[in-house]
Homo-oligomer: A and B are copies of this chain.
Amino acid sequence: MNLNEEDPRTEYFYCWQSCQTSEDTEECEAACRERLDEQLEKQSQKEQGGEDQDEKPTSNPNPYYFPKSTLLNRFGAEEGGYVVLNSLTRLYPFLRGRLKNYRLALFLTAPGTFVLPYHIDAESAFVVSAGKGTLTFVVKNKKESFKIEEGDVIRVPGGATTYLINDHSSEHLGLVQLIRPVNIPDLFEEFFPGGYKIRDREDYSISDDVESYYSVFSNDILEAPSIEQLQKALGQQRPEGMIIKASKEQLKALSKQDTSWWRKLVPWWSSEDTDLKFNLQSQKPLHSNNYGKFYEASPQEFKQLLDVNVSVVIVEINSETMMVPHYNSKATYLMMVVSGTGWFEMASPQFTLPETEEEIEYQEDQGEQSGMYTKVSGKLSLGDVFVVPAGRPVVFVSRNNDEGNNQNQNLRIVGFGINAPNNIRNFLAGQEDNIMKTMESEAKQLTFGKEMEQLLSNQKQSYFVPLSTQKSEEGRNHSSPDWLQFNTKQ
């Protein structure tokens, strides 16, 4: 499957997710399932039809935008799912900078469920985007637990065997996860001590597919006299899926108050220690007014983020409002929409956007002609991912699309800032922190001419400003399904 082809299982995942707030969840889920079966059937016919498997996929015309359908459904499950953004740098080698060390995932689980224990060969941080539950991890002979709710950020140390429950009676639990692999920059793997049955990727039937990692060891190992017959346990009946129903008693036993024995996740050369959990939305916003809020936790203040070396961001923008043009001095942001709809626009240098190797070579021969910018933009709703590299002027816009029925829902985005320490957000419009207002009159005049001074002094709002109430034609177009653009400047 290539990055641009929609995976019906991923579509199913989002369909299922949308049912959790539906009045008749069961009926809704049944409809999702039917749609999935249809599409799998269609896909299967297409493949048997002998179509050319070598057919090159049309490359994604916008390398900074990854609609939800391009995410991979890594562990399908009836009771939720776990979708992962593909390795950006394998498909887009020119994104080979700092992004190569990070992956992004979204975890959604149904009410009354348990996620089976596993560890990954990666450091990670979770941001809770919806719901309630308890997250627990085990390291050596210790166990660490956290009650989690919306706005919580939890750092899980690399290699910790982790499991979680959703003990809410009716809401699903949503977690955005940043993953920093420790072995190979863009790859990580889940390791399950107990295996389970999963739905087959081909026909979606139940089959015994996910193994226990114990199962690879030879009998010499598993039957050694002093560690006893470990292989016996592996012969048991396996649960179905990575996310399974748990009884009320089990959930109650696994629902815990916060522990905090692990206070040393900061780098080894630091003398400080810190909790692994904090609530970002209970902090003072970094930028805010009546139209929106921008929360950011930097690794300088929240030392638990030092080791993954990112800041964590939650942006909340009222409907019909934008966060004004700005650029980050040195941080690159990896953003995922968690509710609401809207779009983003970004100025990107032309020379970094070649699509093919030939174009890359051509541009290199031309010596990186500078000073030409392209508009990069994308429509935003739950699960969509976009990248904002350092230095690129960007705008986020919240606007209800015509399709949705949640009128006036705010656009909410969870983001991770790579290379965030000492990053500064330079605004290019508005009253406060606008670098154009900061220049001397003479510099403004030499750069823009005489009118700029006046124009700038008229700008009274800062950070978040409402859009014009009479929607422009262009604005309307933004809501149409085929709106995704990748044009040279208009």
Contact = CB atoms under 8 A, between A and B. Distances in A.
Interface stretch (A12-20, A33-41, A166-174, A320-328): A320-328
A199 interface: no
A90 B227 CA distance: 40
A461 B227 CA distance: 7
A131 interface: no
A389 B121 contact: yes
Contact of A230 (B233, B330, B429, B478): B429
Interface string A227-259: 111101100110100001010011001100000
A327 B159 contact: yes
B190 A370 contact: yes
A163 to B, nearest CB: 6
A486 to B, nearest CB: 12
A346 B50 CA distance: 39
A84 to B, nearest CB: 8
B475 A210 contact: no
A451 interface: yes
Contacts of A373: 191, 211, 213, 215-216
A441 B430 CA distance: 58
A136 B439 CA distance: 9
Contacts of A204: none
Copies of the polypeptide in the assembly: 3
Interface string A1-27: 110000100000000000000000000
Contacts of A433: 140-141
A475 B143 CA distance: 36
A227 B324 contact: yes
B121 A390 contact: yes
Given A161-B435, A224-B322, A322-B224, A393 B213 contact: yes
B367 A74 contact: yes
A324 B217 CA distance: 11
A447 to B, nearest CB: 4
A219 interface: yes
Contacts of A438: 138, 140-143
Contact of A159 (B98, B228, B239, B390): B390
A216 B347 contact: yes
A160 interface: yes
